[in-house]
Amino acid sequence: MSPCSSRRVIPRGRVDGSPSLSSEVDLFFSLSSLSWSINQVMRSSYAARGMLLMCVLYIFVMVDAVAMMGLGVATSGALSNLVVYLIKEYNVPSVDAAQIGNIVSGCVSLAPVAGAIVADAFFGCYPVVAVSMAFSVLSVVVFTLTASLHGLRPSPCQPGSGGPCSPATAGQMAALYAGVFLMCVSAAGSRFNQATMGADQFDSAADRDVLFNWFFIFFYASSVLGSTVIVYVQDTVSWTLGFAVSAAAAVVGLAALLAGTRYYRRPAVRGSPFTGLARVAVAAARKRKVSVVKSGELKFHHGRPRSGDDKDGNSEADLLAPSDSFSFLNRAALITDDDGVAADGSVARPWRLCTVQEVEDFKAVLRILPLWSAAIFLSVAIGVQINFTILQALVMDRAVGVGGGRFTVPAGSMIVGSLLAVVVSLGLLDRVLLPLWRRATGHDPTPLQRIGAGHVITVASMAASAVIERRRRATAGAHGEEGNPAWVSPMSAMWLLLPFALSGAGEALHFPGQVTLYYQEFPPSLKNTATGMVAMIVALGFYLSTALIGVVRRATAWLPDNMNASRLENLYWLLTVLVAVNFGYYMLCARLYKYQNIGK
């Protein structure tokens, strides 16, 4: 397993066999844990490596933090307000803009999985991170050009003209999509690999704890800055200045990364564990016609002989034959005359013969796929909620404060409410609710219990969105403004924070629960795939939410471009029902699932 993949943004917290949320919570949000880790490293570093190496550690942490901040501010500043940018500057209908936003968010979520595989299998982390951050600079430069050059945007709509707005030309949309494409490439190479590259610089777990804590703290801090400060500049000053500030942040981040080039460790590339999974599928397919008789009469491949076979609790005697589940895959490890196994255990045709351990690893992934699939629709519902909340906020009163101190919250900044809800919920879980649970039951809640609780809260979040939208639409009807797409309801947009808070609380339960479940249940060679599994859930959720909106638009009249004449609450009620049904499917999968490593 490659050094790049072995620590793929997986918390170095407690992985002691008992399901625990505290490792993820401390990693993401616990400043007290961060201070403790720094103090521990200070004590050990002074004694073992001296002042110079301690200074190098802090310098690298700060360089990595600056690079992360620059990249995070640039990406979130462009992505958070993309839907509003499409509506106001490119005259894209509101629902179409929401669908485009979902597609882009899905790309940004899925691309890092491909970037991690490329780094693991071919180039290593640093080259991929450096190139991707250069693409980040190019991305926001393109966005800045689209905002500053009038020829790259359609003519603005004229209020009160009564005629349709001029749509963007193919060339103008191509320029915008070029920036979006560069953003996706940037996310592919940097989002996971930057944390892994940082972890590769240190030998001790304490040092890596410091790095991971700083990395994720700065990651979320940069997201908040991009979603508030940059979005505010875009909305109240100018789009050009907002994107220019993002470009400057990206340049600073790239410069910080390049400044430490000569000092970075660059571990050798050893290949991606995803390659092993693909080899099992290919080998089993190629041997599908091989006759399988009783296990005792077959010879299976276990790889090259090595010492310490039992270090993970598996002696060679335990692996004489693969398990009976998914037995059709056992052919991948079955030795035949055509496989060319050398005396030292090496294989001439690795895409025809795999080890028993690789086959069992693949089976572990298959066993957990039903639970994984049950989480996809959570992301579908959340993806719809995020983008339509922005559209709702555009036609609601976004002012906060009293008298002359009133402040208008940008619609693109509403997502910060969900992020803050995640932070607060994780803190409450770690410091209050989980200790109470332990005192009451004597043990931690299992990952499946946490995920299930997240499902229930997400159902409540969708129902809250439906109730609030129904009230907003009733206000438009009471004022006789249903036919006016530009009318802004006097109803406060702060009501939208309630479903966002519930959604964030649900995410604080099911997201870390999924990471814990996958990390606990996957075999050692596939621990890194836990993060990849969650990333794919988020990406598929955004893509499928786009498809769902398309189906609803074709089958109903719920989603016209005029939000004041929409029936968006019907879509939210539909999501409430579907998420509830999905919860029933999850409960069935959870009931049938048997933990493989609960005590290890």
Reported as a single tens digit per residue, the pLDDT across 312-370 is 444 444 455 778 888 889 888 888 877 777 766 677 778 888 888 888 888 888 999 99
Cα-only R_g, the chain: 26
Provide the H-helix boundaries in 488-593. 497-521, 529-555, 568-592
Mean per-residue pLDDT for 106-125? 81
In angstroms, the Cα distances linking 337 to 61, 81, 215, 286, 353 are 54, 60, 51, 14, 11
Mean per-residue pLDDT for 455-461? 96
- Interatomic CA distance for residues 465 and 468, integer angstroms: 5
Here the tokens at position 256 are 């910080």
Provide the H-helix boundaries in 7-30. 22-29
CATH for 23-156+165-263, options being 3.40.50.1970, 1.10.287.130, 1.10.3720.10, 1.20.1250.20: 1.20.1250.20
- Is 278:361 a contact under the CB 8 Å cutoff? no
pLDDT class of 10 with cuts at 50, 70, 90: very low
Mean per-residue pLDDT for 575-581? 97
- Is 145:175 a contact under the CB 8 Å cutoff? yes
Q: Across 292-301, 364-373, 429-438, 527-536, which has the greatest mean pLDDT?
A: 364-373
Region of residue 348 (phi > 0: left; psi between -120 and 50: alpha; otherwise: beta): alpha
Task: Give Cβ neighbours of residue 560 (< 8 Å, ≥ 6 apart).
Answer: 95, 566
Q: Is the pLDDT of residue 600 over 90?
A: no
Q: Is the pLDDT of residue 4 over 50?
A: no
- Interatomic CA distance for residues 6 and 33, integer angstroms: 23
CA atoms within 13 A on the CB side of 194: 34
Task: Give Cβ neighbours of residue 317 (< 8 Å, ≥ 6 apart).
Answer: none
Tell me the whole-structure pTM to 2 decimals: 0.72
Task: Return the pLDDT at 452.
Answer: 95
- Interatomic CA distance for residues 397 and 417, integer angstroms: 16
pLDDT tens profile 21-62: 333 333 333 333 333 344 444 444 444 444 555 555 555 555
- Is 413:228 a contact under the CB 8 Å cutoff? yes
Q: Mean pLDDT score of the chain, rounded to an integer?
A: 78
- Interatomic CA distance for residues 365 and 526, integer angstroms: 9
Task: Return the pLDDT at 188.
Answer: 83
% of the chain beyond a pLDDT of 90: 24
Task: Return the pLDDT at 2.
Answer: 40
Task: Return the pLDDT at 405.
Answer: 66
Q: Is the pLDDT of residue 68 over 70?
A: no
- Interatomic CA distance for residues 202 and 10, integer angstroms: 15
Residue 31 burial (10 A CB sphere; 0-12, 13-18, 19+): exposed
As a three-state string, the secondary structure of 164-228 is: CCCCCCHHHHHHHHHHHHHHHHHHHHHCCHHHHHHHCCCCCHHHHHHHHHHHHHHHHHHHHHHHH
C-alpha triplet 304, 309, 312: angle, nearest 5°: 130
pLDDT class of 422 with cuts at 50, 70, 90: confident
Among 104-108, 456-460, 529-533, where is mean pLDDT lowest?
A: 529-533
CATH for 362-592, options being 3.30.9.10, 1.20.1250.20, 3.40.50.20, 3.40.1550.10: 1.20.1250.20
Task: Return the pLDDT at 171.
Answer: 92
pLDDT tens profile 531-551: 667 778 888 888 899 899 999
Q: Is the pLDDT of residue 7 over 80?
A: no
Provide the H-helix boundaries in 30-81. 31-48, 50-79
Task: Return the pLDDT at 106.
Answer: 85
pLDDT tens profile 157-179: 776 555 677 888 999 999 999 99
In angstroms, the Cα distances linking 515 to 26, 281, 349, 447, 588 are 14, 25, 34, 9, 20
- Is 508:429 a contact under the CB 8 Å cutoff? yes
The domain limits of the chain are: 23-156+165-263, 273-306+313-361, 362-592
**AA identity, residue 122:** F
- Is 351:501 a contact under the CB 8 Å cutoff? no
Domains 23-156+165-263 and 362-592 equal at CATH topology level:
yes
pLDDT tens profile 202-260: 776 556 655 655 666 677 677 778 888 888 888 888 889 988 888 888 888 888 888 87
Task: Give Cβ neighbours of residue 498 (< 8 Å, ≥ 6 apart).
Answer: 464, 468
- Interatomic CA distance for residues 478 and 587, integer angstroms: 43
Q: Which letter does DSSP use for residue 491 in this model? A: E
Here the tokens at position 340 are 């060319």
Task: Return the pLDDT at 213.
Answer: 53
Q: Is the pLDDT of residue 460 over 70?
A: yes
β-pairing verdict for 407-408 and 399-400: antiparallel
CA atoms within 13 A on the CB side of 437: 15
Task: Return the pLDDT at 216.
Answer: 60
Give, rounded to a whole angstrom, the gap between the first and last alpha carbons of the chain: 21
